[in-house]
């Protein structure tokens, strides 16, 4: 029996940056840290893949060094947040909301819950140790 090709596609809101991931994605991690809340306007729900499995098309992708350890990728045209990566790591986080179509993923873990906004309750998922 032939193996099913698992390819995920996604984009920014204007479509100037499109990406595809060849292979499986990590379950969603919800991050409630202040940087994620400020950069997204809420908490971030992100999956991840090995960086070599992520193929990005479009010339408006920009990277912002959000700390000395990590950077965030966004579309320079529409401002959509798309990616997060730790400098020197071999994986890239992908904002789950940027994925086209059903993902089949679920929130498996939450991080930095002590920094969550006071206007929402936590999703029902395990909390990672701080």
- Compute the distance between CA of residue 117 and CA of residue 10 in angstroms, rounded to an integer: 28
For the chain, give every domain's residue range.
Answer: 7-115
Token pair 């991840």 is found at 48
When pLDDT is cut at 50, 70 and 90, the band that residue 27 belongs to is very high
The string of DSSP letters for 49-84 reads EEGGGEEEE-S-EEEEE-SSSEEEEEETTT--EEEE
Q: Which CATH architecture has domain 7-115?
A: Beta Complex (2.170)
For 67-125, what is each residue's pLDDT tens digit?
Answer: 899 999 999 999 999 999 999 999 999 999 999 989 999 999 999 999 999 999 987 76
Cα Rg for the chain, rounded, in angstroms? 15
CB contact set of 129 (below 8 Å; sequence gap of 6+): none
**Could you count the other beta carbons within 10 Å of the beta carbon of residue 121?**
6
pTM score, two decimals?
0.87
Token pair 């984009």 is found at 11
């Amino acid at each position: 029996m032939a193996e099913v090709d698992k390819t995920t596609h996604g984009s920014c809101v204007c479509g100037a940056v499109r990406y595809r991931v060849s292979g499986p994605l990590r379950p969603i991690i919800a991050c409630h840290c202040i940087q994620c809340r400020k950069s997204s306007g809420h908490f971030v729900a992100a999956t991840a893949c090995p960086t070599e499995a992520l193929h990005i098309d479009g010339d408006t992708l920009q990277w912002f060094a959000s700390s000395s350890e990590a950077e965030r990728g966004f579309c320079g045209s529409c401002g959509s947040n798309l990616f997060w990566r730790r400098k020197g790591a071999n994986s890239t986080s992908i904002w789950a909301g940027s994925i086209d179509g059903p993902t089949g993923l679920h929130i498996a873990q939450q991080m930095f819950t002590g920094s969550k906004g006071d206007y929402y309750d936590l999703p029902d998922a395990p909390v990672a140790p701080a």
